Structure 1
Amino acid sequence: MSEFIKPYNNDPFVGHLATPVTASAFTRTWLLNLPIYRKNLSPLLRGLEIGMAHGYFLLGPFYTFGPLRNSEVALLSGLISTFGLIIILTAALTMYGIVSFEDEGAPDPLQTSQGWTNFTAGFFVGAAGGAGFGYLLIMNAAFIL
């Protein structure tokens, strides 16, 4: 097993082990294709794509497992709960950006204060849109299927 798991860059003082999973080209390619790491996307579009995915999948647990799951308003209460969580997440992203980034020259525009603000705005719009789209799909499932 020791021939497969080695210290990262053969430096035993780095707190990372290079395993066949973490050091593979497939894993690096997969991670670099995530929207947060794509260099050719603006921060606004990165936030929009991440927000759409999160808003879409956050609706399901609130609708399925929420306290009103057996009532007629389960879907609407799930949507409202999802919007509430999206607002909380957007506030957390805003606070993180305020304390973490400055406007000094960063290689990635996302690592600046303005870039993070655009990312947060994109996240909010995308998450609200994704939740709304999920709501419409579930609401009209009888017509779609």
Structure 2
Amino acid sequence: MSEFVKPYNNDPFVGNLSTPVTTSTATKLYLGNLPIYRKGLSALMRGLEVGMAHGYFLIGPFYILGPMRNTENALLAGLLSAIGLVLILTLGLTIYGLASFQDDGQLEGLESSKGWRKFTGGFFIGALGGAVVAYLLLNNIVFFS
């Protein structure tokens, strides 16, 4: 290996490489400020923040690249498609939580069944809200320009 790429913590059995990008202070600072890792947030607030970001950006690909892109109802179809994908993603989060956390609601925090349910609920509400906000902004773009 080169002098810049080394095993993480000089342990070749970890299965991760330490590069100038992965171990830089800027990368650690950026990742530490993401809502999933930020300290002091409840599971519900983490889910809301992650959901709002995803819901807001999900409508665009369906609106611009979807099969109804050149029709009058392309934006509405994009919104409905984004809502459908949010439902699928929420179902996936629910299934993951049921399969991964078997603590009967005894523990607190994101890595427990109770915390994961709050995160999933927050994701669902946030993603729906983000998609609706994006729809309203795109539908009323004339007023902003």
Relative to the length of structure 1, the TM-score reads: 0.95
Query: Unpaired segments of 5 or more residues in structure 2?
Result: none
Counterpart residue number, 1:115: 115
Shift of 1:14: 1.6
Moved more, 128-137 or 21-30: 21-30
RMSD of aligned alpha carbons: 1.4
User: Residues 59-138 of structure 1: matches in 2 within 5 Å?
Assistant: 59-103=59-103, 109-138=109-138
Distance 2:110 2:20 in 1: 30
Distance 2:67 2:39 in 1: 42
Distance 1:19 1:134 in 2: 38
Relative to the length of structure 2, the TM-score reads: 0.95
Distance 1:4 1:74 in 2: 49
Look up the SS of the partner of 1:67 in the other structure: coil
Distance 1:97 1:90 in 2: 10
Distance 2:94 2:129 in 1: 19
Query: Unpaired segments of 5 or more residues in structure 1?
Result: none
**How many residues of Structure 1 are paired with residues of Structure 2 in the alignment?**
144
Percent of aligned pairs sharing the same letter: 62
Shift of 1:25: 1.2
What is the one-letter code of the residue matched to 1:31? Answer: L
What is the one-letter code of the residue matched to 1:48? Answer: L
Distance 2:26 2:78 in 1: 37
Shift of 1:101: 1.1
Shift of 1:105: 7.1
Q: Could you report, residue by residue, the CA deviation over 1:116-140 in whole angstroms, capped at 9, with x for unpaired residues?
A: 0000000000000000000000000
What is the one-letter code of the residue matched to 1:55? Answer: G
Counterpart residue number, 1:44: 44
Counterpart residue number, 2:27: 27
Shift of 1:12: 1.5
Shift of 1:26: 1.0
Shift of 1:49: 0.3
Distance 1:5 1:105 in 2: 42
